[in-house]
């Protein structure tokens, strides 16, 4: 049944669905960031320190460790950023869901009101028919 709230409900539903997709996307981004951080920690564990050799090997190993630590810091900030984005998306989804529920409730109330009016009208019509036929039965 169409009411004056039906287009708004449809709009709020599409907005809520879009927000839900955003939450899913941000959650996937956060999972990717966590995997990248874990991978960078594993790569750091795989780097071995030279125990003997010339200074160039030591400097190369030191440079490799330094770049891996920088990558870890970058991935940590990425996880933090993705986490903040996810929380913001969840908050927006919650707001959109509340708006949708408000208009859905208003639509349901209007439908109930219309049904009640229809029932009262039907009752009056039945009473009128009963009164018209009542007099005819006894004559």
For residue 128, tell me if it sits in a domain.
no
For residue 66, tell me if it sits in a domain.
yes
For residue 119, tell me if it sits in a domain.
no
Q: Per residue in 35-56, pLDDT tens?
A: 999 999 998 888 777 777 788 8
Q: What is the mean pLDDT of residues 85-109?
A: 96
Distances (CA, A) of 107 to 17, 83, 100, 134: 19, 36, 11, 40
pTM assigned to the model:
0.74
pLDDT tier for residue 136 given thresholds of 50, 70 and 90:
low
For residue 121, tell me if it sits in a domain.
no
Q: From CA 133, how far away is CA 27, in angstroms rounded?
A: 69
For residue 65, tell me if it sits in a domain.
yes
For residue 80, tell me if it sits in a domain.
yes
Whole domain around residue 97: which residue ranges?
5-103
Number of independent structural domains in the chain: 1
């Amino acid at each position: 049944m169409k009411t004056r709230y039906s287009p708004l409900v449809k709009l709020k539903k599409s907005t809520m669905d879009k927000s839900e997709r955003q939450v899913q996307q941000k959650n996937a981004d956060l999972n990717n960031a966590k995997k990248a951080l874990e991978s960078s920690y594993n790569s750091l564990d795989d780097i071995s320190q030279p125990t003997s050799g010339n200074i160039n090997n030591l400097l190369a190993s030191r440079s490799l460790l330094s770049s891996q630590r920088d990558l870890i810091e970058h991935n940590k900030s990425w996880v933090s950023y993705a986490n903040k984005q996810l929380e913001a998306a969840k908050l927006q989804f919650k707001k959109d869901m509340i708006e949708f529920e408000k208009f859905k409730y208003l639509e349901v109330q209007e439908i109930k009101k219309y049904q009640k009016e229809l029932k009262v009208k039907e009752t009056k019509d039945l009473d009128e028919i009963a009164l018209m036929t009542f007099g005819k039965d006894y004559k």
